Structure 1
Amino acid sequence: MKSLFKVLLAFSLLLSMTACTAESKPDKFEAGVYQSTQTGHHGEIVVETTFTNERIEQVKIVKNGDTMMISEPAAEAICANVVKYQTSEVDAVSGATLSSNAMMRGISDCIKQAEGIEDATMPEAEHLTKEGERYDIVIVGAGISGITAALAAATEEDNQTESDLKILIIEEMPFIGGSFIVSGAGIFNPYGTEDHKNGKLDIIDEDTFIEYLNYRNEGDPLKLTSEALQRKVYQGIDPAEKMLSNAGMPFTWYDIIECEVMDVTFPKSSNHALADVFAFTKTYSSLEEEFVAQHGYGSTADICGKYLETALQSKSNITVKLNTEATHLLMENDNVIGVQVKETDYLKNTVTEYDIKSDKVILATGSPNLNSEIIAKYDPSFATAYPFSEAGQNGDGIVMMQEAGLNPVIQGYGGMCYNGTSLQYGMEDGLALYTLGYPVLNTDGNRYYDESITAPYDTGKYTRAQKDNTAYIIFDKNCEFLNGNYLGSYAGVLLEGENLYDYMVRKGFAVKADTLEELAIQIGLEPEKLETVISDWNKAVDGELSDDLMAAPEYAFSVKEGPYYAEKIHALSIESYISLRTLEGSTQLIREDGTAINNLYGCGTLIVSNLFYGTYFNYGGGLTTSLSSGYIAGKEVSDLLK
């Protein structure tokens, strides 16, 4: 009996201990619904996360201030993967890194609010292979030049009837359009508006257009450009625009650009990235209403991208693969016969590699602005600028050719380089503002270029030559940017109850002081020197002193009334003109020995130095030449296959 009692007692104690253990097991989360607001690429992203005591039950993006067509694929993948793998540390979506990071920061913050425990990890992607595919033409890159090349190859000479060719566009990003959809520039069409065509204004002829391109090249000192290709680009602009219009993307004339140096006028048509153009058209309004109804707002980049999608969908012989990166060129007997690709499925967490063979390959991979090794090797002076590009400008086309042993001719220098505050492309990390007409001082307190007339896209080339690629813009309370509740040219969202530069002071991009002496101390300059420089500046603006650097005092502003501000700036490279040489008058790429590379062609900024280099062409110059060179490449390749 005693033995039985002992057994029962032990069993009772065991049950008691088990119960205590079960009761004392802590919850992983404090159940509930939590929200977190984070700053994305262009605006606020609000994440809402629902928890039970045991798991992350649901993640939603309840407000998305970023471009929908760029950030929405990231939102879908991240929300699904966080729930699937029970961790906020999931893979960012290529091409939407800033939006992805903002969403993951928000989810992590929600977990902290729920006093959560993160003990799970996302597994590495499963690597798969599959059978290859076959097309007549493969185009690498879905920016404006790649899309235009595809449409040109997909249609007959009338730019409407479909050809018999099967065309594939591959794009490593989850969206199409590249820089085109976020650019504020337009397309120059030298053929002109109706006023030009009716004789009221002079049409810009081919020779004048080429003269202007070469003027921007400073006379083409390195003899890099191809006059034959420049002429083809001139001839291709108008039909390229008409082709896009026929495919569902109309263009609207909205501006005339004056070139005072050469006394020529270039009409400019909209690329649909400007809201003020389409606010007056039925097409924009209806599309905007559709986006607002579906998403709560209508982004101009989304609308521009929608037009491009419509254009591509109008052709049954064009296939588009997103999240698909070209990793290698396929070679056979010294001929390019296709590309090897890596296709990422963020929802399935898989990466699939396979070959795509084709008769012709067109590289539309953009400039190498984000590839520090290429920039440092071929344009060291440009390497001191901070890269400030949209994702994708990685020099992939150049790298693939080098790895295939094709020895391409890499040429050109310079590019589009602004002064700005940012070290990263995105609102939270900078604004990329340039305050024109105010004095700019390097870290020694000296001015170093003409602030009165230097074009914004040329300012950076002077700043990048300064010590530490750093300078300061000095201005006072009368600066126009202090008199409006708006963020600068790259952020595009409203501030409430705070002017622009007070926001910048709060964020650490600028400093503010009641006197110049106090301002000088804050930025590390000698007070007496700063006061002297600003005094001389004001005298030059007022016409009391001759200033060798200030050619147009009428475009400059005095700095006389506190409080004073100093914006810390750097040279920001938007686009590099390091690019690939083509066969004379052609888009076919060549080797260092001058021989053509069989079946391989290029377009867009990948071949821009054949047209211009060194200094930016003008607002819309990159879009114009990309549009037309894509059209030329598509027609050149399709004609050969027909």
Structure 2
Amino acid sequence: MKKSLSRREFIGGALAGAATVGVAGSLSACSSPSSAAGASESEVRMEPGKYTASYVGHWGIWETPVTVTVNETAITAIEVPTDRTQYGDTEKIFDACRERLFPRIIEAQSFSVDAICGATISSMGVKQAVREALEQALEAGGSDPRAIDAFDVVPPKTEEGQTEEMNVDVLVVGLGSFGIVAMKRAREALMEENGMMACSVWGIDKAGYLGGQSLLTHEMNAVNPPHILAERNGEPLVDYDDYLNTWFTDTTGADGTLKCKEEMVRFFFDNSGAANQWLDVDQGWEFGTVKDTNDFSESNYAVVFNYFSTNGIDKYSNSNENRRAVKDSYHKKIVAEIEATGGGVLLETEGYELIYDEAGNAVKGVKARNNVTGKEYVINAKAVIISTGGFGGSSELMSSLLDPRWAGSWKQNGSTQNDGKMIKAGLDIGAGTYNIDMSPITMEIALPRFLTHFPINFIDGKITARTGRQSTWTYNDIPLWMCVSINSFAVDKEGNRFGNEYAIANGIGTMMPPNAWKVGPYFYSVWSQDQVDQLMSEGFTAVKRTAAYCQQGGFDLNVPTPEVQEALDASIDAGIAWKAETVEELAGAIGADPATLSASVERYNELCEKGSDDDFGKDAEYLVPVGSGPYYAIKAMPVMYGTGGGFDVDTQFRVLKEDHETPINGFYAIGQDSFGVLCSNEINYLAYGGVCQGYGMTSGYTAGYEAGKYAAAQA
């Protein structure tokens, strides 16, 4: 079964990785802004009934059919299949479209309403499909084509100019898993301290759904949880001292000083097990068994708990994909408990400024705005916890806060609503930072955009565990596989070889792949024609680990692949690859220094002839020289899951001032907003598996309780 995807159909793939969120107004590339005059020129006459149009979702593979029901003049219903295998986007993110976007379109009778923040790609796809379905209905009713303008009207922000003041005990900004856990713990502390059943714990989030980026993750690193030790008759899961010493070794800088914050690493080791036990035993967050291997390195400190499944076996479904629905149910259960005791959540509402009492050195609340209605909020709070996922969605902060080697806009995996407004708000009141300049967290490699030249081939009877949908294969992944092939030759934007190409997609020792984080937002994979010819005749014999979350299904390895040349030519046409007759000309095409690239190629070929990579230690079997021209360069991008560095915090997760000693009263930072305390600004992330989730859960578990106690004392 094959299907070729046209450019128009490929709205999801074209937008994948875009940094824009909260898109409003007309469908930019899809339609022209309407005018009152244009709408009045053509009367709306539709043939009543159901009309279906489709768009292709995030991965650029599966279509999502959108059925629009109309009467003669209006939209009356919008539907998509309820079975998640029958549409092309991530289920729990798409649910936000079903719950918020569909009613919004029907109420406004317009497809030019605000997109759902955090589900922008799905929103734009739905809006385009609604437009096409309406065009069908108008044509069937005999309307002039211009009548579509009646449904292309940007609705007003209904509460713009209004301000609501709220008084709460604890406010959590950012409702991913960590923020939701913090809300529950704050509620527990307030009830314990005040002996009351009613307490005002509130949360706000810019996205239109609960869970944030953590809804897409599934591992938590926890050190020897007590209940697991009890089940094992006291036998530890990991050697505490050995693990700790390895952590400190890996985060020691070139100058011999410790780059992580020692007291916070020790706190994580001593408290992550308790946080895991609380989630597992007290809250009923079911975890799979501990992993006994590590996906990314040889360090084997796999004290990692999978959410809901192990080794691809899931009691809720035949796919790991269903873990997102299960995790979402845990989030909603906590929020329901919060609402039952006087609290609540505001979605599509972003905080942008801290209310700060300078004289008392205390955060007293947050100013926020609903991006759909325009309503402003002044939320007075006794304690504020931020868990906004860092600042990866802000090109300004990525340029100004990161080390210059890594500055700039990176391709992101997942949602991009983490625009750093609360990071900037903290900096504005003098909050101190810790490793905020470190490299973003990266684990995958991607092309700037999907190649769309070849058909997507669907494999009957086979389901991909990663997505829960029908498995696919396509030669569109050829250029991506060339970039992760170990026998490739990779250079940075100046033309310097930057490391062992094995580590672009595979772990070496304690190194977290890919090593391309060292060179910033992108690099180039350089190939000569004879290398390309070898791929066509022998196939991909040096690909060990592929870019699972950034591909469209892959294809068979280790077999002749004559489609490589066609894929390269299509990549050049798509602007993601370049071709030149000489190395120097290729350097000019990609903006590198010709002398630098030439010297890099010459040096690499010398090492290949010698059979020893004296520079970076790549195994001799993968040393394939860059031969005769023409030459090709493919642009590849390390994919970030978010920034790592953030605010400096103490063991209560109170944000410290710039002196790194004085806590800012009532201000707490958890998850990626303070994750830098566990890291080094000289390396990318840590290779132990589930560390960011482990820190996020532990920090939410602790900070929520501490903030609740603090707020209770202010009453």
- Normalised by the length of structure 2, the TM-score is 0.68
How far apart, in 1, do the equivalents of 2:607 and 2:214 lie?
A: 40
Match of 1:329 among 354, 362, 366: 354
The Cα shift of 1:607 comes to: 1.0
Match of 1:187 among 202, 220, 226: 220
- Structure 1's 440 and 310: CA in aligned 2 closer, same or farther, altered over 3 A? farther
**Runs of 5+ consecutive residues of structure 1 not aligned to the other structure:** 1-24, 289-296
Asked if 1:171 is matched to 2:201, the reply is no
**Runs of 5+ consecutive residues of structure 2 not aligned to the other structure:** 1-40, 140-144, 454-475
Match of 2:268 among 233, 244, 267: 233
The Cα shift of 1:565 comes to: 9.0
- Structure 1's 97 and 603: CA in aligned 2 closer, same or farther, altered over 3 A? same
Partner of 2:705: 635
The Cα shift of 1:313 comes to: 4.0
Partner of 1:342: 369
Asked if structure 2 preserves the Cα contact closer than 8 Å seen for 1:437 and 1:452, the reply is: yes
How far apart, in 2, do the equivalents of 1:407 and 1:530 lie?
A: 43
Equivalent residues in 2 for 1:209-224, closer than 5 Å: 209=244, 211-213=246-248, 215-218=250-253
Match of 2:525 among 472, 494, 497: 472
Partner of 1:39: 56
The Cα shift of 1:236 comes to: 1.6
SS in 1 for 2:327: helix
How far apart, in 1, do the equivalents of 2:98 and 2:499 lie?
A: 44
Partner of 1:371: 394
- Structure 1's 457 and 86: CA in aligned 2 closer, same or farther, altered over 3 A? same
Partner of 1:134: 167
Partner of 1:320: 345
- Structure 1's 202 and 240: CA in aligned 2 closer, same or farther, altered over 3 A? closer
Partner of 2:692: 622
Partner of 2:463: none
Asked if structure 2 preserves the Cα contact closer than 8 Å seen for 1:137 and 1:360, the reply is: yes
The Cα shift of 1:362 comes to: 1.1
Which stretch shows the higher mean deviation, 253-262 or 351-360? 253-262
SS in 1 for 2:238: coil
Which stretch shows the higher mean deviation, 232-241 or 254-263? 254-263
Write the letter of the residue equivalent to 1:67. T
Write the letter of the residue equivalent to 1:617. L
The Cα shift of 1:106 comes to: 1.9
Write the letter of the residue equivalent to 1:627. M
Partner of 2:656: 590
Match of 1:382 among 406, 414, 418: 406
The Cα shift of 1:394 comes to: 1.3
Asked if 1:251 is matched to 2:315, the reply is no
The Cα shift of 1:224 comes to: 5.5
Write the letter of the residue equivalent to 1:388. Q
How far apart, in 2, do the equivalents of 1:596 and 1:539 lie?
A: 56
Match of 1:489 among 521, 524, 548: 548
Superposed CA offset, 1:311-364 (max 9, x none): 5545654633322222322234542222233245x5xxx333233322211111
The Cα shift of 1:548 comes to: 2.1
Residue identity over aligned pairs, in percent, reads 18
The Cα shift of 1:538 comes to: 9.8
- Structure 1's 427 and 396: CA in aligned 2 closer, same or farther, altered over 3 A? farther
SS in 2 for 1:610: helix
The Cα shift of 1:613 comes to: 2.9
Asked if structure 2 preserves the Cα contact closer than 8 Å seen for 1:360 and 1:637, the reply is: yes
The Cα shift of 1:388 comes to: 1.3
The Cα shift of 1:99 comes to: 0.8
Match of 1:452 among 489, 502, 514: 502
How far apart, in 1, do the equivalents of 2:599 and 2:253 lie?
A: 35
Which stretch shows the higher mean deviation, 167-176 or 326-335? 326-335
Equivalent residues in 2 for 1:136-151, closer than 5 Å: 136-151=169-184
The Cα shift of 1:505 comes to: 7.3
Match of 1:574 among 641, 644, 663: 641
- Structure 1's 76 and 603: CA in aligned 2 closer, same or farther, altered over 3 A? closer
Partner of 2:129: 106
How far apart, in 2, do the equivalents of 1:586 and 1:220 lie?
A: 29
Asked if structure 2 preserves the Cα contact closer than 8 Å seen for 1:421 and 1:568, the reply is: no
Equivalent residues in 2 for 1:86-105, closer than 5 Å: 86-105=109-128
The Cα shift of 1:125 comes to: 0.7
Asked if structure 1 preserves the Cα contact closer than 8 Å seen for 2:175 and 2:204, the reply is: yes
Count of aligned pairs: 587
The Cα shift of 1:447 comes to: 3.6
Superposed CA offset, 1:387-433 (max 9, x none): 41522321122222244x34544643223245633447x99899887
Asked if structure 1 preserves the Cα contact closer than 8 Å seen for 2:394 and 2:419, the reply is: yes
Partner of 2:470: none
Superposed CA offset, 1:429-481 (max 9, x none): 9988762523133378764311124546442323438xxx4402657255569
Which stretch shows the higher mean deviation, 150-159 or 332-341? 150-159
- Structure 1's 97 and 382: CA in aligned 2 closer, same or farther, altered over 3 A? same
Asked if structure 2 preserves the Cα contact closer than 8 Å seen for 1:191 and 1:197, the reply is: no
- Structure 1's 323 and 597: CA in aligned 2 closer, same or farther, altered over 3 A? same
Partner of 2:385: 362
Equivalent residues in 2 for 1:22-61, closer than 5 Å: 28=44, 31=47, 33-42=50-59, 43-50=62-69, 54-56=73-75, 58-61=77-80
How far apart, in 2, do the equivalents of 1:36 and 1:219 lie?
A: 57
Write the letter of the residue equivalent to 2:642. E
Match of 2:156 among 124, 127, 133: 124
Match of 1:396 among 406, 409, 421: 421
Partner of 1:12: none
How far apart, in 1, do the equivalents of 2:416 and 2:486 lie?
A: 31
How far apart, in 1, do the equivalents of 2:196 and 2:696 lie?
A: 23
Match of 1:439 among 466, 473, 488: 488
SS in 2 for 1:266: coil
How far apart, in 1, do the equivalents of 2:113 and 2:42 lie?
A: 25
Write the letter of the residue equivalent to 1:133. M
Cα RMSD of the aligned pairs, angstroms, is: 4.8
- Structure 1's 197 and 566: CA in aligned 2 closer, same or farther, altered over 3 A? farther
How far apart, in 2, do the equivalents of 1:214 and 1:158 lie?
A: 42
How far apart, in 2, do the equivalents of 1:505 and 1:307 lie?
A: 48
How far apart, in 1, do the equivalents of 2:110 and 2:514 lie?
A: 45
Asked if structure 2 preserves the Cα contact closer than 8 Å seen for 1:172 and 1:323, the reply is: yes
Asked if structure 2 preserves the Cα contact closer than 8 Å seen for 1:171 and 1:323, the reply is: yes
- Structure 1's 41 and 596: CA in aligned 2 closer, same or farther, altered over 3 A? same
- Structure 1's 170 and 187: CA in aligned 2 closer, same or farther, altered over 3 A? same
